[in-house]
Amino acid sequence: MRLEQLQAFLAVVETGNFQQAAQKCGVSQSTISRQVQSLEATVGISLFHRQGNAKLTLGGDRLLPHAKRICQIWATAEQELTDLSAGKQTELCVAGIPSACAYQLPPILQEFAKAYPNVQLRVTTLGSDRALKVLKDGLIDIAIVMNNPFLTASSEMVVERLYEEKIQLLLPAKHPLNKKEVLTWRDLDNCPQAVFKDGYGLQRLVQDQFNRQGICLNAALELNSLEAFRGVVKQGSLVALLPETFLVELNHDPDLVVRSLNEPSLTREIVLVTTSDRIKIPPIQYFCKLAGRMIQQEVPMLNAL
């Protein structure tokens, strides 16, 4: 059973005869007749009485509501795909790591809303690995995450580098480590730390660095909120390795100190990821270009502070 057979069947029902149905569809009468005959052969029953006007048989009457529903579903799907290609998307879903959602995304969302006021934005804070998974599952349109080539190295993924940032140490002002003029990775051996939960790219990055240095990461507390790190470290016993874009505003907090570690320095690369089919959709394409432009302009200014 083919769609054009059902469309020919409905045209005959609506017009009452094969000739007018052919005119309605813009084809020859023989084409309409052939489509209906093929449909009848498929279902194994006559659909019309052919004396005088084409009247439905009992079988045709039973088929009619189903044919209407099938053709309406197709028409709706066709319209939605046309709207999608034209940029008439109803919503755009973005997932980002905590620092991106807190600092980089708000001005981008504001600018995007001006250009596409009818597109509803949905933003979720997720760890990098989780964000990339839901992107692959089709639950979001764009992920702003720490780069993980193992999860982004496929032909369907479109990856744009946004910026690179240092990972620095946040510690209480009265912490013993703050008395040292130079801090090294060896100073953090078995030092109690607050770390991101498993599934966050930064947690994996820090653990890999400790492994390379041959020292022990003492993960005393797991968190998933940047603000939670601020509060916990202020208590005085834990330190945390965090991205510099978050730590910039803490430089003026008298209870906290931001320190760099001696070589080798630890950095992470932040990327925007979408898929090859989504990047063709005008609102998504615009968001990606806007994010790339605004973030690359903003991050150098933050680093200069």
pLDDT of residue 301: 46
How far apart are alpha carbons 192 and 239 in whole angstroms? 7
7-46 pLDDT, tens per residue?
888 888 888 888 888 888 888 989 988 999 999 899 899 9
Helix or strand holding residue 93 (H, E): strand 91-96
Q: Give the dihedral of Cα atoms 160, 165, 167, 171; nearest 10 deg.
A: -130
Give me the residue spans of the domains in the chain. 3-85, 91-163+270-304, 165-268
266-275 pLDDT, tens per residue?
999 999 999 9
pLDDT of residue 78: 79
The CATH architecture one would assign to domain 3-85 is Orthogonal Bundle (1.10)
CATH number at 91-163+270-304: 3.40.190.10
For residues 176-200, one letter each, b for 16 or more C-beta atoms within 10 angstroms of the residue's C-beta and e for the rest, the string is eeeeeeebebebbeebebbbbeeeb
pTM summary value:
0.70
Across the chain, which has 305 residues, the per-10-residue mean pLDDT values are: 87 88 88 90 88 84 92 83 69 90 91 92 90 92 91 87 92 92 94 88 90 94 87 91 86 89 89 92 92 76 46
CATH 3.40.190.290 is right for the domain spanning 165-268: yes
How far apart are alpha carbons 304 and 17 in whole angstroms? 78
54-74 pLDDT, tens per residue?
888 998 899 999 999 998 988
First to last CA, the chain: 67
pLDDT of residue 272: 95
pLDDT of residue 110: 94
Whether 165-268 and 3-85 are alike in CATH topology: the answer is no
